[in-house]
């Protein structure tokens, strides 16, 4: 069965520093999609970045990059130059190719301090 | 503006009183889904729909019903709510393809007493 594991319940980072949020996944499908979402305290789910299983290069979107290590089945999110507004809950998710369902991890709460 | 809307945003109700949470998207997406979010559990899928008149169960469908009579709407029905259905509910939609992100509604916080 497909599964997403986020082992860091909470992380702290100082403003302007980089931070890595861990995500490992388990699937037997060769084709899958990996996503990161941000959930600020206001509650909405904001899409950050996507990585396809056949993508050769790591995905990047502005200050967000995805460190995709296929053999290790990891898809860590790297946030560079952290800002106070980055304080939020971050979810890693995998899209099931059969049902298009998003399978979520339990999330990591990131707190950025001045 | 492309968006997914949900109503109501907040709801407090009593056990057994039927309720419906509406979801509508204006992006002509084929795929729509309902999730519930509970502390420590992340988001779990309740029901999904690949297109009009096509719905299927997700991981936690017990106690919920859905319908997809029109492409844009995907209401979630709780026929007889119970306290264990107190949760934050999200509706989402997407193009029905692996590579596309799901767009989420703003969420509905439901409390069942």
Å from A40 to nearest chain B CA?
12
> If contacts are CB pairs under 8 Å, which of residues 52-111 in chain A contact chain B?
52, 91, 93, 95, 97, 99-102, 104-107
How do residues A8-57 score in pLDDT, each as one tens digit? 999 999 999 999 999 999 998 888 899 999 999 999 999 999 999 999 99
Query: Radius of gyration of chain A from Cα atoms?
Result: 14
Residues in chain B with CB shorter than 8 Å from the CB of A102 are: 33, 35, 43, 45, 92, 102
Q: What's the distance, CA A78 to chain centroid?
A: 8
Per-residue pLDDT of chain B (113 residues; tens, 9 = 90+): 889 999 999 999 999 999 999 999 999 999 999 999 998 888 999 999 988 999 999 999 999 999 999 999 999 999 999 999 999 999 999 987 666 788 999 999 999 99
Instruction: Give the one of B41, B45, B107 whose C-beta lies nearest to A44's C-beta.
Output: B107
CB atoms within 10 A of CB A69: 11
């Amino acid at each position: 069965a497909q599964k997403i594991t986020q082992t860091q319940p909470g992380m702290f980072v100082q403003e302007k520093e980089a931070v890595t949020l861990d995500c490992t996944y388990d699937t037997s499908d060769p084709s899958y999609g990996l996503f990161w979402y941000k959930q600020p305290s206001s509650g909405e789910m904001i899409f950050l970045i996507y990585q396809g299983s056949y993508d050769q290069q790591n995905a990047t979107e502005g200050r967000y990059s995805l460190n995709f290590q296929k053999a290790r089945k990891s898809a860590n999110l790297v946030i560079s130059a952290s800002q106070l507004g980055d304080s939020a809950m971050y979810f890693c998710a995998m899209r099931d190719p059969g049902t298009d369902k998003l399978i979520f991890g339990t999330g990591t709460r990131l707190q950025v301090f001045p | 503006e492309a968006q997914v809307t949900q109503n109501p945003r907040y709801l407090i109700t009593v056990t057994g009183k039927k309720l419906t949470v509406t979801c509508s998207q204006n992006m002509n997406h084929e795929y729509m889904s309902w999730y519930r979010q509970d502390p420590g559990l992340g988001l779990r899928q309740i029901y999904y729909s690949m297109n009009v008149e096509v719905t299927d169960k997700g991981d936690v469908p017990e106690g919920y019903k859905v319908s997809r009579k029109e492409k844009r709407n995907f209401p979630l029905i709780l026929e007889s709510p119970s306290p264990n259905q107190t949760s934050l509910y999200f509706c989402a939609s997407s193009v029905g393809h692996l590579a596309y992100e799901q767009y989420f509604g703003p969420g509905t916080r439901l409390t069942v007493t």
